[in-house]
Each structure stands twice: as C-alpha cells, then as structure tokens.
Amino acid sequence: MRVFTVLTVIMTIAAVIFRWRYRIMNTLLAISFLRRAAVMISMNMPAIREKIMPTLFQRQTVK
C-alpha cells in the first residue's frame, strides 16, 4: 500500500509540473542568476549552439 501511495504522489506531481510547465519556467527564468545559468548551460551543448548561433548573427537582405 505504501508503494501505491508513493507512486500516486509522484504521478500527481509529474502531472502538475507538466500542466504548469511554462508558468514554472517563466517564474524560474525571471530570476537573473537562474536565467544566466540556463543560457550558459545551453550554450555549452553543441547541438543547441549550432542551431541558435547562425540565426542570431545572420544578415537579412532587404528586398
């Protein structure tokens, strides 16, 4: 019975976090230290860096 209770609590917490994930993320990223840490960590991941960096510095042509 104890295992069932623990699994139910874990599933409930996961469902709440999934439902409010964007609100939680915006609240956490409003803290400047956490925002800077998130950017530093994501820029150390080659896959993310290779996708983001070219789009940040590309020139747009005027037609």
Roughly what angle, to the nearest 10 degrees, separates helices 21-29 and 2-19?
70
Q: For 17-59, how does the pLDDT look when each residue is reduced to its tens digit (9 = 90+)?
A: 999 999 999 999 999 999 999 989 988 999 888 888 888 877 7
Two structure tokens written together for 38: 């998130």
pTM above 0.75, yes or no: no
pLDDT confidence tier of residue 61, bands split at 50, 70 and 90? low
pLDDT given for residue 50 in this prediction: 86
* H helix runs in 2-57, sequence order: 2-19, 21-29, 32-43, 46-57
Q: For 5-25, how does the pLDDT look when each residue is reduced to its tens digit (9 = 90+)?
A: 999 999 999 999 999 999 999
